[in-house]
Structures are given as C-alpha cells and as structure tokens.
Amino acid sequence: MSYDYDEVEVPADGEQITADDDGSLNVPETPIIPIIHGDGIGQDVGPVAQRVLDAAAEATGRSVEWMRVYAGSSAREKYDENLPDDTVEAIKEFHVAIKGPLTTPVGAGFRSLNVALRKKLDLYANVRPTYHLDGVPSPVKDPDAMDMVFFRENTEDVYAGIEWEAGTDEVQQVREFVEDEMGFDDVMHENPLGIGIKPISEFGAKRLVRESIDYALENDRDSVTLVHKGNIMKFTEGAFRDWGYEVAKEEYGEDVITEDTLWDQYEGEQPEGSLVVKDRIADNMLQQILTRTSDYDVIATMNLNGDYISDAAGAQIGGLGIAPGANFGETRCLAEPVHGSAPKHAGKDKANPTAMILSGRLMFEYMGWDDAGQLIGDAVEEAISSKQVTYDLERQIEGGEKLAASEFADAVVENIEELA
Ligand SMILES: NC(=O)C1=CN([C@@H]2O[C@H](COP(=O)(O)OP(=O)(O)OC[C@H]3O[C@@H](n4cnc5c(N)ncnc54)[C@H](OP(=O)(O)O)[C@@H]3O)[C@@H](O)[C@H]2O)C=CC1
Ligand SMILES: O=C(O)CCC(=O)C(=O)O
Ligand SMILES: [Mg+2]
C-alpha cells in the first residue's frame, strides 16, 4: 500500500489494521498505530504511556509500530496549521489511534481540535468507563460503588459549535429571524448578546443509545440510564429521551425492559439477567451519582451533559489523572483520556499518565488484545496499591512515594514484566 502524506512518516515495518465490509477488524501482530502526543501535559503523558503500551504488547508476543501524527502545537510547528489533513487521513486509514489532550482557547481563537477530530472522523460515541482502582484515594466513602460507563454523543448538541458572537451582523440576523419570524419576541435581553444553536437529531440520538444498549447487553450490565434535561429543553433533550426509549422498545424486544414495565409487571424487582432502560433529569443525576452510586451502570447522554458528568464521576474514582476514554465510530477508535492539557503542569514530567495508559488499554481491547489490556490494568493497580504514585495521588496518600510521570511509567513497565 502507498500513502500520500506531507509530513507523516509511515513506519517501514508493521502492517495496517484493515476493516472488512461487515465491520470486523483485521489486526496484525505488528500493527501501525497513529499517535498524537498532545499539548500541555500531553508532552509528558503521551510518550511515557506509549512506553507502557509497548511493554504490554511485547509481553503478549506482539509489537506496535507507532506513527506520530500531529495536531495542536506540534502541528503548528510542522505544518503551520492546527489540524492537518494528514492527521485526519492517517487515523481514517489506519482505523485505530490514540491521542493526548489538545488545548482549546477560551472565548476566542480556533475551535476545539478534539471536537473537530471526532466530527471529521464521525466518532460518534465518546465512551468513558469509570471504575475504581485498588489503592486510589477518593473523596467519597465507597469509591468501589462507582462502576459506570458513560456513552456521550460526540457529534452534535451545543458542542457542535453553531454560535454567533455578540456585536456581529450574523448575530443580529439570527436575532431578527428568531424574534420576527419565529415569534420569540420577548425572550432575549438587549444587545450585545451571543446566540448558539443546539441541534439534537433522531439519527444521532438513536445510534448513540443503540451503541450503549448493545454494550450493556454484551457486558451483562443491569441498566442503561438516559440522562437529559428534557423538562426544560423539550424538543432537544426531551426528544433524545423519547428517541432513546423508542430504540429500546422497538429494536430489542424482550431483551430490554423499561423502568415503567419494571414497576408495572415486576413490582420493581429486576428479573435476573434483564437490562432495564430508565431515564433521569441531568441535575438530579449529578447528585444521584454520589448518593445512589450503585443504582447506575451504563449512562447514555448528549455531548455537554456527558462532558460534565464524566469529569464529576472521574473525581469519585480519584480524579482526572486516572480517568480513561475512547471515541468510537464505524470500524474506528481514537482513544483519549478524559482530562485536558492542564497547562499549569505542562512539561514538568509530573502529570499522572494513568488516564492515558488506561485509554491505551481501551484501544487494545478494541483491537482484541484483551490479555495485553488486562496486564496493563493489573500493572497500574499494582503500582498504585504499593503507593508508587504521581503528585495528584501522593498528596492524598499517607506514606505515598511521589514519582515523576516517567518514573511511574517505569514502575508500571516493571510490573508488566513481572506479571507477564
Ligand atoms: N480531550 C481533550 O483534549 C480535552 C482538552 N481540554 C482542554 O485542556 C485545556 C485545560 O483544561 P482544564 O479545564 O484545565 O482541564 P484539565 O483536565 O486539563 O485539568 C484540570 C485539572 O485536573 C487535574 N488533572 C488533569 N489531568 C491530570 C493528570 N493527567 N494528572 C494529574 N492531574 C490532572 C489537575 O488538577 P490539579 O491542578 O488540582 O492537580 C488539573 O489542573 C483547555 O484548553 C481545554 O479546552 C479539556 C478537556 C479534554
Ligand atoms: O475540546 C476541548 O478542548 C474540551 C473537550 C472536553 O472537555 C472533553 O471532550 O471532555
Ligand atoms: Mg471534558
């Protein structure tokens, strides 16, 4: 196969992951995997996570040929742009990739490159499994009760970036349309004001909810909860809830029961092996994850709610340094931690690489490398439970040994070699 990239060097060794028409992946023993190290602490956690993933691959008789691709500051240096076509094309072509965080300026400047990647690659499900690792300090009494998997719609909502800046002709045009043509003539305060639009489609909602139910059924989970603010945003978040229930009722037959049916037919006692689909209003849900943690399992929600709730849930299992994630589309995966580029900690070799390492675990699992994934999880847990931790956990663990990001990765690699 020949590739036509401007700046990306395709490794001479290694093979491409390919996909069949039925959506199954063909993963060679030496796959080429694109990696974006990321901005800010991405410079620290990206390369060291790569080292841990190498060790796990090697310990299970495989190897990864990494292919550096660029976005954010690294792309500005190489290409003088934020998100080169090379990067998008490489991830498209090679199917499975991993990235560190990318910085987005607040209030002005370019739009999120993270969102752009998800949209351009149609990675519609942002999946964030949130579970407690042995030995990780947590602000809650029973951190093990947190074992949720967040499915966040990744391509629409106010996150899609349809908005107009205060003082522009465009915002005035939209204002006049909304007031004069649509009849909302007594709703907005006087200028200056900014306006944004929140698109939520049946297509987007249904494919996300479908993905979450499939996951729940395959993994013997007890429930999928649709999280929305549909009492207020009736035709967007309320519609998401309604479309979600439609998928559950129309596409899964008796495999799935709704919470209403659970009460009407089973007096609230969930039948063994069943999957219940329920819904909760988003503000209530943010307290329920703390007060009734074990009642929730798989969560399906829209882009902005999913962003907020996954950081909040991450705090319950020890903070953002620990929380992994991955974006999925048809035959594609782009793994990335929940956290951002944490600029104040950048370049100090101190940020916790666990979230990036465990995102790599998700990527390996997507590739069918479950044994390598398990090894990574065990090796990380072993390091943390023996109190070898980075600054974020050390400040909460009595007698903890504070390690640099690279030293923590060394400890995990050592554990991988011992456990293998
Ligand atoms: N997917 C992506 O690429 C994302 C990008 N971003 C972008 O990142 C930038 C910074 O965002 P910000 O709101 O500060 O959120 P961040 O997630 O970058 O950081 C917030 C805080 O979380 C803690 N933290 C985050 N990551 C780690 C880690 N690996 N190890 C230890 N602690 C960690 C730190 O807390 P403390 O200082 O208390 O130790 C840090 O100050 C923004 O430009 C934002 O747009 C944000 C989220 C996701
Ligand atoms: O794109 C960004 O800068 C922020 C995105 C974010 O917070 C997230 O996806 O969790
Ligand atoms: Mg976020």
Q: Closest ligand 2 atom, CA of 102?
A: 3
Write the single-letter amino acid at 243.
W
pLDDT in tens, 324-357: 999 999 999 999 999 999 999 999 999 999 999 9
∠ CA 181-187-192, rounded to 5°: 95
CB of residue 311 inside a 6 A radius of ligand 2: no
Residue 352 marked as a ligand binder = yes
Residue 103 marked as a ligand binder = yes
Instruction: Give me the mean pLDDT over the 189-216 stretch.
Output: 98
Residues of the chain with CATH 3.40.718.10: 1-136+320-420, 139-148+200-316
Q: Closest ligand 2 atom, CA of 114?
A: 1
- The pLDDT value given to residue 34: 98
Element (H, E) at 291: helix 282-291
Is residue 20 part of the annotated active site? The answer reads no
Confidence of residue 255 (pLDDT cuts 50, 70, 90): confident
CB of residue 312 inside a 6 A radius of ligand 2: no
- The pLDDT value given to residue 22: 95
Residue 307 marked as a ligand binder = yes
Instruction: Give me the mean pLDDT over the 85-101 stretch.
Output: 98
State the chain's mean pLDDT as an integer: 97
- Ligand nearest 105 Cα, by number? 1
pLDDT in tens, 10-36: 999 999 999 999 999 999 999 999 999
pLDDT in tens, 377-394: 999 999 999 999 999 999
Distance 372 CA to ligand 1 centre (A): 27
d(CA 367, CA 24): 10
CATH match of 1-136+320-420 with 3.40.50.970: no
pLDDT at 1 > cutoff 70: no
- Ligand nearest 308 Cα, by number? 3
Distance 113 CA to ligand 1 centre (A): 15
With 0-12 / 13-18 / 19 or more C-beta atoms within 10 angstroms meaning exposed / middle / buried, residue 260 is exposed
**pTM exceeds 0.95, yes or no:** yes
Q: Closest ligand 2 atom, CA of 310?
A: 10
Output the CA torsion sign for 397, 399, 405, 408.
negative
Catalytic residue, chosen from 39, 279, 307, 349, is 307
d(CA 279, CA 323): 24
CA nearest 341: which of 112, 66, 108? 112
Residue 19 CA, distance from chain mean position? 22
List Cα–Cα distances, 232 to 281, 282, 309, in angstroms: 10, 11, 18
Catalytic residue, chosen from 260, 283, 348, 370, is 283
Q: Which two tokens stand for residue 252?
A: 């899964």
Query: Cβ distance 264 to 283 under 8 Å?
Result: no
Query: Cβ distance 196 to 151 under 8 Å?
Result: no
Residue nearest to atom 47 of ligand 1 (CA): 340
ipTM for the whole complex: 0.99
Is residue 283 part of the annotated active site? The answer reads yes
pLDDT at 162 > cutoff 70: yes
Best CATH choice for the domain 139-148+200-316 from the list 3.40.50.300, 3.40.1390.10, 3.65.10.10, 3.40.718.10: 3.40.718.10
Residue 332 marked as a ligand binder = no
Query: Cβ distance 135 to 381 under 8 Å?
Result: yes
